[in-house]
A and B are shown apart, each in its own frame.
Chain A
Amino acid sequence: MLRRVLYIDLTSGESWVEEKHDLFEEWLGGTGVATQLLLKEAPPGVDPMSPDAPIIFSIGPLSTMFPAMTKTVAQFKSPLTGELGECYAGGRLAMAMRFAGHESIVIKGRAERPCYISIENDRVKIRDATSIWGIGAARVGVILRDVEKGVGRRSIIRIGPAGERLVRYASVIVDTYRHFGRLGLGAVFGSKNLKAIVISGTEDVAIPDSKRYREVYNRIYRMVVQTDAMEKYHDLGTPINVNVLNQLKGLPTRNFQSTSFAEAENISGERLAEEFLFRRVSCAHCPIGCIHIAMLKTAFTPHHEFEVRRVSYDYEPIYSLGSNLGVTTAEGVLELIDTCERLGLDAMSTGVVLSWATEAYEKDLITPQETLGVPFQWNNVKGYIKAMENIVAAPNEFYAALARGVEFAASRYGGMDFAMALGGNEVSGYHTGPASIVGQLVGVRHSHLDNAGYSIDQTAAKKQLDPSSMVDQIIREDDSRSVFNSLVGCLFARGVYTDENIIDALGSIGITKSREELSELGRRIFLEKYRFKTREGFDLSKARIPRRFFETVSTLGRIDPETVERMIALYKERRGWA
């Protein structure tokens, strides 16, 4: 086992490795360990973009050892919400960290001028990046692939212009098509003058009982490729949800003014797969291949001359930049996704900010003077592209406000009732019912993936579920995902990694855990995250719920504010916070 934490101080240029057996023993890895490192390394009340604010990456004990254990968790203090920043990315980063020999990486300080970090096994170099500052994320990847070693086993993560210019929801692009998207890690990179990290290594992992390991591996591998536990992710991929949610009246449309979209078929997973999909690829050591890549072909002369762009698509960006902006063509959606990639913006937050601005523009809360003549109109793809570029360039106060997120913008210009954020984070693409709202509100990172409230609502659409059992399910998912995220598996494989399989997988590499121990660990990790959240000022009883949620019909009909209030009260009671 690795159990090594690599520390890098960008101010002094120093780096060192600490072995922390007890930390990994107690908190398993991934998010469990990262939370402890964050609590320790981030001074209380620290400015998220100050040199003292840390960035933490962590993988888990099963990373690279088992199929679909592909993710890396990043933790930081979010410049968007001012509390827990946490997001996950796939690609090759977990593998590269494993083979470089570092289970966690802590980065602090601020470089004097733009830099990137090159990590090869134990060798860490902080190199000048002034010549690539300002360059788009895709191009930077191409440049660093040329100048750095480690072909085939390295990972390159970097920010685009949005991160450099401290847009509060700037992303970090991981390898190609994967992201630390949410809560503004890109801005934290930018604040440290950190453009990119290249990591590779040549370590390998010896297995104490390789026979047992192979047995458990074979069982899990078979489940991943041969059962339907992951079927939905390798066929149409997550965009299968576009038509499903549209039929269920849960597809947020034009800033949640409606939950069904007449043109949904045009931007559906089916349409994209039939007309645009040309390749599916995988994260390292996952046989599923859920990364769906579309070919966007645009003629630039009438003589069959084409620009070709390869755009990766998923459900969430299709919602946020598609139905939620009233975009009626797949080409339009792909173009907006590609613009987010180029600029290094989180697709979900960007879409929600633009949809709020479009409605605010319609309602005359903002004027053409403020938008610098850019038309904020549903389905106006060219206008939205210009607006995104302006969010990054911030030529005036209005765009600078948009760059701080929807909640901040609405606090300046009005329209808070339809500023669709929960816990300060722009919401995901589900208006399915009360569990989705409560789940995102109480969730540690205010993400639909914290506890999958949207899925609880969809179950409730089929069979009666009272608010009390919905709350129980949210708590169960909060806690069990804390364990899974400490292994840092892909949540798409959560159906394969049952308690039994997790215990066997850990056992096969020499880590003994019982079901009770894991369950207790999940609860403790969740509470530790809340310790950080509370310390940094998050207060569940003061959390805002946009009125729009109660105005627009959801999958479960119109949502009664009292139901949501009751669920939050129940939640607090069952967490022992009442």
Chain B
Amino acid sequence: MAGAVAGKPNVEVAKKPRKRRRLKVAHPERCIGCLSCMFACSRINTGRASLERSAIRIKTQGGIEGDPIIVVCHACEDPACVRACPKGALSRKEDGSVVFEKDLCDGCGKCVDACLIGAISLDSEGKAVKCKHCGACVAFCPHDVLKLIEVD
């Protein structure tokens, strides 16, 4: 079967580690809706088996006979979520990546509203779930739907 080697994300042009990396939905039409990516995200980032704590979301419309929709953070140049956060829990680093400090988050949900893509949600404790583009999900997609790419 096609697919990345588990535990080793596909990284295109992996030579310059300085560059910011971001998740890309390379082949959405290949998704089989198995949710392995969501379980990988929560397992690896939170040590839990959970859908609520996954920063990537696979949505179905009208059951599994419809096309799955893959919702991931787009790593915006000018992130609306950062501007919306009144507590400074979300901040933009120099290389463009967004850092989330969970302790500062008070669960107001303004970041959720600011992201039109729907890439941020609140978990059951009321804390934001924000993708950090680590590539955990990429390694567990059986059909190369997802890629981790470097941002110029």
* Residues B59 and A152 in contact, CB atoms below 8 Å apart: yes
Contact partner of B52 among A156, A202, A226, A289, CB < 8 A?
A202
- Which residue of A64, A152, A202, A284 contacts B57 across the interface (Cβ within 8 Å)? A152
A145 touches B36 (CB 8 A): no
CB of B43 within 8 Å of the partner chain: yes
CB–CB B43/A213 < 8 A: yes
With A204-B53, A221-B6, A221-B140 known as contacts, the answer to whether A176 contacts B65 (CB < 8 A) is yes
Q: Does A151 make an interface contact (CB < 8 A)? A: yes
A153 to B64, CA, bound (A): 12
Out of A65, A142, A151, name the residue touching B49 (CB < 8 Å): A65
B49, A64: Cβ atoms under 8 Å? yes
Give chain B residues whose Cβ lies under 8 Å from the Cβ of A286.
34
B48 and A289 contact, CB distance less than 8 A = no
Q: How many A-B residue pairs have CB under 8 A?
A: 107
Chain B residues positioned under 8 Å from A141 (CB to CB): 63
Set of chain A residues within 8 Å of B3, measured between Cβ atoms: 225-226, 287
Please tell me if the beta carbons of B124 and A202 are within 8 angstroms of each other in the complex: yes
Chain B residue numbers with a CB within 8 Å of A222 are 5-6
| B142 and A287 form a contact (CB under 8 A) | yes
- Closest A residue to B47 by beta carbon equals A210
Contact B43 A210 (CB under 8 A): yes
Q: Are A177 and B51 in contact (CB under 8 A)?
A: no
Would B63 and A289 count as touching, CB distance under 8 A? Answer: no
Across the interface, A175 reaches (CB within 8 A) one of B34, B42, B63, namely B63
Contact with B along A190-202 (1 / 0, CB 8 A): 0000000000001
A145-B63 in contact (CB<8A): yes
B142 near A289: Cβ-Cβ < 8 Å: yes
* Cβ contact within 8 Å between B48 and A206: yes
Known: A65-B49, A206-B48, A214-B43. A293 touches B65 (CB 8 A): yes
B140: chain A residues at CB < 8 Å are 221, 287
Q: Does B47 contact A206, Cβ atoms closer than 8 Å?
A: yes
Enumerate chain A residues within 8 angstroms of B142, measured Cβ to Cβ.
225, 287-289
Shortest distance between the CB of A278 and any CB in chain B (Å): 11
A207 to B39, CA, bound (A): 13
Please report the C-alpha to C-alpha distance between residue A280 and residue B51 in the assembled complex, in whole angstroms. 22
A570 partner residues in chain B, CB cutoff 8 A: none
B1: which of A65, A177, A210, A234 is its contact (CB, 8 Å)? A234
Interface size on B, residues (CB 8 A): 33
- Smallest Cβ distance from B113 to chain A, in angstroms? 18
* A189 CB within 8 Å of chain B: no
Residues A114-151 near B (CB distance < 8 A): 141-142, 145, 151
Q: Using Cβ atoms and an 8 Å threshold, which residues of chain A touch B47?
A: 206-207, 210, 213
* A151 to B62 alpha-carbon distance, docked (Å): 9
Chain B CB within 8 A of A36 CB? no
Partner of A204 from the list B6, B35, B58, B124 (CB cut-off 8 Å) is B124
Contact (Cβ within 8 A) B50 A204: yes
What A residues does B33 contact at CB under 8 A?
281-282
Cα A289 to Cα B64 in complex, Å, equals 11
Cα–Cα distance between A310 and B60 once the two chains are bound (Å): 16
CB pair A176–B64 under 8 Å, yes or no, is yes
**Known A-B contacts A142-B62, A217-B43, A226-B3; A287 and B51 likewise in contact (beta carbons under 8 Å):** no
Q: Determine if A67 is an interface residue (Cβ-Cβ < 8 Å).
A: yes
- Write out, one digit per residue, whether chain B residues 1-42 have a CB within 8 A of any chain A CB (1) or not (0): 101011100000000000000000000000011111001001
Closest A residue to B53 using CB positions = A204
The answer to whether A282 and B34 touch (CB under 8 A), given A65-B49, A206-B47, is yes
0/1 interface trace, chain B 140-152, chain A, CB 8 Å (1 if under): 1011000000000
Q: Which residues of A contact B60 (CB under 8 A)?
A: 151-152
Interchain nearest-CB distance for A205 vs B (Å): 4
A285 on the B face (CB < 8 A): yes
Q: Which of A152, A156, A213, A284 neighbours the largest number of chain B CB atoms within 10 Å of its CB?
A: A152
Which residues of chain A from 62 to 95 have any CB-CB distance to chain B below 8 Å in the complex? 64-65, 67, 91, 95
Which parts of A199-254 form the interface with B (CB within 8 Å)? 202-207, 210, 213-214, 217-218, 221-222, 225-226, 234
Q: A214-B43, A282-B33 are in contact. Are A205 and B6 (CB under 8 A)?
A: no
B70 to chain A, nearest CB (A): 12
Given A221-B6, A280-B32, A289-B142, A204-B52 contact (CB < 8 Å): yes
Alpha-carbon distance between A141 and B62 when the two chains are bound, in angstroms: 8
Give CA–CA (A555, B58) in the complex, Å. Answer: 45
Contact between A284 and B1, CB atoms less than 8 A apart: no
Are the CB atoms of A153 and B32 closer together than 8 Å? no
Can you name the residue of chain A whose Cβ is closest to the Cβ of B7? A218
Indicate if B134 sits at the interface (CB-CB under 8 A).
no
Instruction: Check A276 for interface membership: any CB of B closer than 8 A.
Output: no
Cα A280 to Cα B33 with chains together (Å):
9
Is B76 among interface residues, defined by CB-CB distance under 8 A? Answer: no
CB distance from A487 to the nearest CB of B (A): 15
A93-112 interface (Cβ within 8 A of B): 95, 98-99
- Whether the pair B49, A205 counts as a contact (CB closer than 8 A) is yes
Interface residue ranges of B59-112 to A (CB < 8 Å): 59-60, 62-65
Tell me if B117 is interfacial: C-beta within 8 Å of chain A. no
Q: Are A67 and B36 in contact (CB under 8 A)?
A: yes
A281 touches B32 (CB 8 A): yes
Across the two chains, which residue of chain B brings its CB closest to A228? B1
How many Å lie between the Cα of A64 and that of B36 in the bound state? 10
A282-B33, A286-B34 known; A205-B64 Cβ under 8 A: no
CA distance A287 to B146 in the complex (A): 14
> Which B122-146 residues sit within 8 Å CB-CB of chain A?
124, 140, 142-143
Residues of B within 8 A of A226 (CB): 1, 3, 5-6
Residues of chain A within 8 A of B52, CB atoms compared: 202, 204
Chain B's closest residue to A235 (CB) is B1
- Bound Cα distance A176, B33 (Å): 13
Of B42, B43, B51, B62, the most chain A CB neighbours within 10 A belong to B51
Given contacts A286-B34, A288-B142, 12 further A-B contacts (CB under 8 A): A64-B39, A175-B64, A176-B63, A176-B64, A204-B51, A204-B52, A205-B50, A207-B48, A221-B140, A282-B33, A284-B34, A291-B64
- Provide 18 A-B residue pairs closer than 8 Å at the C-beta atoms, listed in order of the A residue: A65-B49, A99-B51, A142-B62, A142-B63, A152-B60, A176-B65, A202-B52, A203-B124, A204-B51, A205-B49, A205-B50, A226-B5, A280-B32, A282-B34, A284-B34, A287-B140, A288-B142, A310-B65
On A, residues with C-beta under 8 Å from B are 64-65, 67, 91, 95, 98-99, 141-142, 145, 151-153, 156, 175-177, 202-207, 210, 213-214, 217-218, 221-222, 225-226, 234, 280-289, 291, 293, 310
3 smallest beta-carbon distances between A and B, as pairs: A204-B50, A210-B47, A282-B34
